[in-house]
Amino acid sequence: MKALEDKILKEGEVYPGNVLKVGSFLNHCIDVPFMCECGKEFFRLFDGCGVNKILTVEASGIAVAVLTAQYFGCPAVFAKKAKTSNIADDVYSAPVKSYTHNCINQVMIEKKYLNPGDKVLVIDDFLAHGEALTGLFKLIEDAGAEVVGAGIVIEKAFQDGGKDLRKRGFRIESLARISGMDAETGSISFIN
């Protein structure tokens, strides 16, 4: 998605350790009109696949997930990262390593929100090592539901998550695929 690549080049900030900050439009301040365009693009890509549910994980996946879900006219479920006093015991769960927060979260979803027969599209802001996607796919499969695929805003294609998941047969559509970044020069390059 050319407009997204342009936006990453204009607003993205590269830091050491392969950190790309896109807080100005994706995961702190959300450029809602622009993210609606991303949602429309996910709808164009997965229209006709029978998607009846969007799944993401808190927190930064929620915005793009709900803005996408409105084009499918379906609900969006977000997996939670910590057990709170108002989550039921009856959950599907999976461990997900967070490189950003340097910890392992147990992500979970109440069982009643994922059912056999559901055709689930996973939406997330980033794909790098594929930890979050792997965990979310596990939740869907544990529920006996179907993984339609995943729509990702930004894939760090120089890391192995996307490659590994595609090799396992999952359909992964990323709106921008970064082939390399350089914290010293600030340069970012894309796979077309």
Q: Which residues bind a copy of itself (CB under 8 A)?
A: 15, 19, 21, 23-25, 28-33, 35-36, 54, 58-59, 62-63, 66-67, 69-70, 73-78, 80, 82, 84-87, 100-102, 109-110, 112-113
Question: Least distance (Å) from a copy of itself to the CB of residue 87?
Answer: 8
Comparison of 15 and 182: residue with beta carbon closer to a copy of itself: 15
Comparison of 144 and 168: residue with beta carbon closer to a copy of itself: 144
- Rounded Cα distance, 85 and 37, in Å: 36
| C-alpha dihedral (67, 69, 75, 81), degrees to nearest 10 | -60
Question: Least distance (Å) from a copy of itself to the CB of residue 143?
Answer: 13
> Could you tell me how far CA 93 lies from the centroid of its own chain?
17
Comparison of 165 and 175: residue with beta carbon closer to a copy of itself: 175
- Widest Cα–Cα separation across the chain: 49
Comparison of 2 and 112: residue with beta carbon closer to a copy of itself: 112
Comparison of 51 and 165: residue with beta carbon closer to a copy of itself: 51
Sequence-ordered list of residues with C-beta below 8 angstroms from that of 99, at least 6 positions apart, any chain: 128, 129, 131
Question: Least distance (Å) from a copy of itself to the CB of residue 144?
Answer: 17
Question: Least distance (Å) from a copy of itself to the CB of residue 97?
Answer: 14
Sequence-ordered list of residues with C-beta below 8 angstroms from that of 176, at least 6 positions apart, any chain: 1, 4, 5, 8, 153, 154, 155, 190
Residue written as token pair 């009643």: 112
Beta-carbon count within 10 A of 103 CB: 10
Question: Least distance (Å) from a copy of itself to the CB of residue 4?
Answer: 16
